[in-house]
Amino acid sequence: MTGITTNATLFEQLGGAAAVDAAVDIFYRKVLADERIDRFFEGVDMEKQAAKQKAFLTMAFGGPNNYNGQDMRNAHAKLVKIGLDDSHFDAVVENLAATLTELGVSEELIKQVAAIAETTRADVLGK
């Protein structure tokens, strides 16, 4: 990652669209294999889900805003009704961190990603 200035967005520091695409694909493989949270994805069109996640993360990390999905509270309300809670949110963040570690992302950037994820906790969990 030489040549990246300190003014670079997190999106740029992570490697841009190609890196987000790779991360989301690996992330969902991990999520779907995680028995703590896999049930929340039963019947979900994972291709559409991955596309929405890529657009959301790109926006959240300071890249182009092409996200047109629901807000986090509405998007997850039906999951909260069937038991989505902090332990599940934590499992998702763990899978995201493991994905980024696998891709060779620095601990500092992983902490930034986790901090951004944390800002969505209350809305995702309907608190």
Instruction: Tell me if 1 is assigned to some domain.
Output: no
Residue 90 backbone dihedrals phi, psi, to 5 degrees = -60, -40
Does residue 101 fall inside a structural domain?
yes
- The arithmetic mean of pLDDT across residues 68-82, rounded, is 92
List the CATH number of the domain containing 46.
1.10.490.10
Euclidean distance between CA atoms 66 and 56, whole angstroms: 8
Average pLDDT rounded to a whole number, residues 72-80: 94
Angle of CA points 116, 84, 122, to nearest 5° = 35
Boundaries of domain holding 112: 10-124
104: left (phi over 0), alpha (psi -120 to 50) or beta: left
The structure's pTM equals 0.89
34 Cβ neighbours under 8 A, 6+ residues apart? 91, 95
Domain count, the chain: 1
Tell me the pLDDT tens digit for each residue of 25-47: 999 999 999 999 999 999 999 99
> Residue 83: inside a domain, yes or no?
yes
Indicate whether 62 belongs to any domain. yes
Quickly tell me which residue has 């039906």 as its tokens.
78
Ordered alpha helix ranges (H), 61-106: 72-81, 86-102
In a domain, 2, yes or no: no
Asked if pLDDT for residue 4 goes beyond 50, the answer is: no
Whether the predicted pLDDT of 1 surpasses 60: no
Amino acid 70: pLDDT: 85
In a domain, 4, yes or no: no
